[in-house]
Amino acid sequence: MDVSETDLPGVGKRFEVDIGDGETAVVLVHNTGRRELFVRPDPDADAEEVLRLDDEAARVIGSILEGAHFQPKATDLTETTIGDNVMLEWYTLDEDAPLVGKSLQEAAVRNRTGATVAAIERSGEVIQSPSADFSFQTGDQLIVVGSRENHESFLAECT
């Protein structure tokens, strides 16, 4: 794809990208970090301003357009709610987690916490519906289903 770049002394840089059907997208990058997006409907027309963004907003929108945007949560818990109260959460077992070295039966996760270990991801492989003799190891990623209370006791007792 053809991208043309023009220096604008005292202003910044201008990039033009042919987006098909005779339309051109024009990106104006100011020296101040401000970005402006224009569209020129046909080669003879004046470009019309579409967006005016500060540096940070431009980066976020740019990475979304690029398909690279991923915003990790602040904690290492990722939660998804099913229905009103049931949640799916991911936990990673570190080496001093109480579960490490125990089997699913020994750990008695459901009896103690009410939460259910639905699946385990280990070294890139997913173990679904683990059997009673399944043994936990450091680094296992657990996908756990339960209510908020269940998750709280799981977090306290098992990780």
Partner 1 sequence: MAAELLELGVMFAVLAAVGGLANALDQSVIPFYIVAGVLLGPFVAGEVTTDLFGTELAVGVSEGAASFVALGGELGIVFLLFFLGLEFNLERLLASGRRIGTAGTIDLALNFGAGLVLGWLLFGSPLPALVVAGMVYISSSAIITKSLIDLGWIVNDESDPILGTLVYEDLFIAVYLAVVSALVAGSGDLAAAAMDVGVALTVLAVLLAVAHFGTAAFQRLLAVDSNEYVILRVTGLTVLLAGAALALGVSEAVAAFFVGMAVSSTDHVTDVEGLLEPVRDVFAAVFFFWIGMVTDPGLFPAVAGLVALAALVTTPTKLLSGFWGGKVYDLDDRRATRVGLGMVTRGEFTLIIAALVIGTVDGGGVIAAETARTLNAFAVGYVLVMSVLGTTLMQYSGAVETLVGDWRGRHSPGG
Q: Which one, 59 or 122, has the nearer CB to partner 1?
A: 59
Binding flag, residue 8, partner 1 (CB under 8 A): yes
- H helices of 1-159, where? 55-66, 104-107, 109-113, 148-158
Rg for the chain (alpha carbons), in Å?
26
Q: How many CB atoms lie within 10 A of CB 120?
A: 21
String marking each residue 24-63 x if it binds partner 1 according to CB under 8 A: --x-x--xx---x-x-x---x-xxxx--------------
Contact between residue 86 and residue 146 where contact means Cβ atoms under 8 Å apart? yes
Q: Which of 11, 19, 64, 127 binds partner 1 (CB under 8 A)?
A: 11
Contact between residue 88 and residue 135 where contact means Cβ atoms under 8 Å apart? no
Q: Which one, 47 or 61, has the nearer CB to partner 1?
A: 47
**Binding interface with partner 1 (CB under 8 A):** 6-11, 14, 26, 28, 31-32, 36, 38, 40, 44, 46-49
